[in-house]
């Protein structure tokens, strides 16, 4: 079974921030989860490096466009390495393979007479890299996202016959039984897309004469491909199209494209239409999330309120940064974050709940059993209860990309074990009924092992630490794959009776909540 997942390729006019991290961490969690469940996963991310905005930014910095792109793409690679992202490839639109694929697709569409030349005049927002209609502007005649007035551009360009795909797009998006159904999530965004398509699709300009920093069209070297046409094609370049037929047939179509809502139209309408025109399969799912605000304000480099991956990691550590980025806000709607909110969730979920469970369990094993797994016949009731919570709540949540719900299911499982410890009161059993004590401690370790297995996708390093501390046998990833395949808790337990445990360590030191200025 294959699973092909992509992030958008990020525009290199700015450094990576929490919005980029949010999408990429979510994609990584899903990729790791699918691998643990036996899928042959291909995970692609990268950078979008052509267009007017890049050329202007490079000029302002006294660099060539290529120099700026080289510098900025490295920052994204460094950020994803820091956040322990397991992408299989990192694509750049300035690579020769991308140029070749873009020109191949453009020529195919031109040969099928789906591309034609026409005079074009419209308002163009450099910040968005797209044309805007009057109805798209705010009351001041500005782009609603960038608060700048678009410029009137008039030139002779090549157009793609998007209008001819209107009926087929509607059919694929609205008919779940269609063999090439395009699922758009969340549902409210799907409804927006469907409504907009029903208003009628217009043919779109796909080239520029005034922009030299781009990929030149194979049938007219005087014109370059519009940056969005160029960017979208990366998804097939990344899996070998057109020359690596074996790889392309193995992984295409994409199982899910992840992105922010501002680029959903390109991915759910223009991109499928281009693919249909070229005779290729369309993506199976397009999933968009909302925008972040920080303390109620839109994040902006100009305002100086952008949170970088490095800042998150410096304050919370890599695994906690991964967890917090996708658990604080539902994956779909807009949401507001703050350093106070991030710190509070860190303390509640990780320091007080998960960290406390591991610490107190190991300390009890040290006090009563010389830091060894108790030698006894394990009681599986707590493990079964923990497994049921995770199976009923965690698994469907992560499969449906509800990462915040998956995180909550993990917390519910941890809370269940902590509550069981309170109910058992081992510190009292040690005095009143010591024969029951070994099975109790063993059951806590067993439940912690199950939680660690499910933590692997979210917090891989923490999961391995818990696995090691609890003296669980075998490799955690191999054990997880066996468990997710068969859902069988081993009779002798993950943590083997008599095995030496490790000293309790503070997984998540508490952080004093202080608003970062």
pLDDT of the residue at 120: 73
Sketch the domain layout of the chain as residue ranges.
Answer: 338-486
Which position among 196, 298, 367, 485 bears the catalytic label?
298
Which of the following is catalytic: 69, 143, 376, 470? 143
> Which residue is catalytic, options 301, 363, 367, 428?
301
Distance from C-alpha of 253 to C-alpha of 476, rounded to nearest angstrom:
31
Buried b or exposed e, range 121-155, using 16+ CB within 10 angstroms:
eebbbbebbbbbeeeebeeeeebeeeeeebeebee
pLDDT of residue 134: 75
Q: Which CATH superfamily is domain 338-486 in?
A: Isoleucyl-tRNA Synthetase; Domain 1 (1.10.730.10)
Query: Which of 378, 386, 451, 457 lies closest to 416 in space, CA to CA?
Result: 386
Residues 6+ apart with CB under 8 A from 300: 306
The reported pLDDT for the residue numbered 303 is: 58
CA nearest neighbour of 387 among 447, 471, 459: 447
Active site residue 143: yes
Tell me the C-alpha to C-alpha distance, in Å, between residue 11 and each of 16, 21, 124, 129, 287: 9, 13, 18, 11, 19
| pLDDT at residue 336, rounded to an integer | 84
Residues with Cβ < 8 Å from 70, sequence gap 6 or more? none
Q: Among this protein's residues, is 298 annotated catalytic?
A: yes
Q: DSSP label at 164?
A: G
Directed axis angle between helix 65-82 and helix 18-36, to 10°? Answer: 50
Identify the active-site residue in 50, 75, 77, 125.
125
Instruction: Tell me the pTM.
Output: 0.92
Catalytic residue among 128, 376, 440, 470: 128
Please give the torsion angle defined by the CA atoms of residues 344, 347, 352 and 356, in that order, rounded to the nearest 10 degrees.
160
Phi/psi-derived region of residue 298, left when phi > 0, alpha when psi is between -120 and 50, beta in every other case: beta
Please name which of 47, 59, 62 lies closest in space to residue 14, comparing C-alpha atoms. Answer: 47
- Residue 338, classed as helix, strand or coil, is coil
289 is catalytic: no
State yes or no: is 470 an active-site residue: no
Distances (CA, A) of 159 to 132, 148, 269: 16, 26, 15
Active-site residue, 17 included: yes
Backbone torsions φ then ψ of 46, nearest 5 degrees:
165, -160
Half-sphere exposure of 24 (CA within 13 A, CB side): 29
pLDDT by position in tens, the chain (length 517): 999 999 999 999 888 988 899 999 999 999 999 999 999 999 999 999 999 889 998 999 999 999 999 999 999 999 999 999 999 999 999 999 999 999 999 999 999 999 999 987 778 787 776 777 777 788 788 888 777 888 887 778 999 999 999 999 999 999 999 999 999 999 999 999 999 999 999 999 999 987 889 999 999 999 999 988 999 999 999 999 999 999 999 999 999 999 999 999 999 999 999 999 999 999 999 999 888 777 777 766 555 677 899 999 999 999 999 999 999 887 777 878 889 999 999 999 999 999 999 999 999 999 999 999 998 877 789 999 999 999 999 999 999 999 999 999 999 999 999 999 999 999 999 999 999 999 999 999 999 999 999 999 999 999 999 999 998 878 999 999 999 999 888 777 788 889 999 987 899 999 986 544 4
Active site residue 146: yes
- Cα dist from 2 to 123, 199, 254, 359, 420, whole Å: 43, 36, 10, 39, 40
């Amino acid at each position: 079974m294959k699973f092909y997942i992509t992030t958008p390729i990020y525009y290199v006019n700015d450094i990576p921030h929490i919005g980029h991290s949010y999408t990429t961490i979510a994609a990584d969690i899903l990729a790791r989860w699918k691998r643990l469940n036996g899928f042959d996963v291909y995970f692609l991310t990268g950078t979008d490096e052509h267009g007017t905005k890049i050329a202007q930014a490079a000029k302002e910095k006294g660099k060539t466009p290529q120099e700026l792109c080289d510098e900025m793409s490295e920052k994204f690679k460094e950020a994803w390495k820091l956040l322990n992202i397991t992408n299989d490839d990192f694509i750049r639109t300035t690579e020769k393979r991308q140029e070749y694929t873009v020109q191949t697709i453009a020529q195919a569409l031109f040969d099928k007479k789906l591309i034609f030349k026409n005079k074009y005049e419209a308002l163009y927002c450099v910040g968005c890299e797209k044309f805007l209609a009057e109805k798209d502007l705010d009351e001041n005649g500005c782009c609603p996202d960038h608060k700048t007035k678009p410029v009137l551009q008039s030139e002779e360009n090549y157009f793609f016959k998007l209008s001819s795909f209107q009926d087929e797009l509607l059919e694929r998006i609205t008919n779940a039984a269609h063999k090439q159904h395009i699922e758009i999530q969340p549902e409210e965004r799907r409804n927006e897309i469907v409504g907009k398509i029903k208003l009628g699709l217009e043919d779109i300009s796909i080239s520029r004469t005034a922009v030299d920093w781009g990929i030149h069209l194979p049938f007219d070297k005087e014109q370059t491909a519009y940056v969005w046409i160029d960017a979208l094609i990366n998804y097939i370049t990344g899996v070998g199209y057109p020359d690596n037929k074996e790889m392309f047939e193995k992984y295409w179509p994409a199982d899910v494209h992840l992105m922010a809502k501002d680029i959903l139209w390109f991915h759910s309408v223009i991109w499928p239409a281009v693919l249909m025109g070229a005779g290729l399969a369309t993506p199976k799912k397009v999933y968009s999330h909302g925008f972040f605000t920080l303390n109620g304000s839109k994040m902006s480099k100009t305002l100086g309120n952008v949170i970088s991956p490095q800042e998150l990691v410096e304050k919370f550590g890599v695994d906690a940064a991964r967890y917090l980025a996708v658990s604080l806000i539902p994956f779909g709607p807009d949401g507001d974050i703050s350093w106070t909110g991030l710190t509070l969730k860190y303390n509640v979920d990780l320091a007080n709940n998960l960290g406390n469970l591991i610490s107190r369990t190991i300390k009890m094993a040290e006090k009563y059993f010389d830091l060894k797994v108790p030698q006894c016949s394990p009681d599986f009731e707590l493990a079964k209860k923990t497994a049921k919570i995770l199976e009923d709540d965690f698994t469907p949540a992560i499969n449906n990309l509800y990462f915040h719900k998956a995180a909550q299911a993990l917390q519910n499982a941890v809370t269940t074990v902590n509550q069981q410890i309170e109910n058992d009161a081992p510190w009292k059993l040690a005095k009143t009924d010591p024969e029951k004590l070994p099975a109790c401690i063993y059951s806590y370790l067993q439940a912690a092992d199950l939680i660690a297995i499910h933590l692997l996708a979210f917090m891989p390093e923490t999961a391995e630490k818990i696995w090691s501390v609890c003296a669980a046998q075998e490799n955690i990833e191999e054990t997880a794959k066996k468990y997710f395949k068969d859902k069988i808790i081993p009779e002798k337990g993950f943590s083997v009776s008599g095995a030496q445990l490790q000293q309790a360590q503070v997984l998540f030191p508490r952080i004093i909540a202080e608003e970062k200025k």
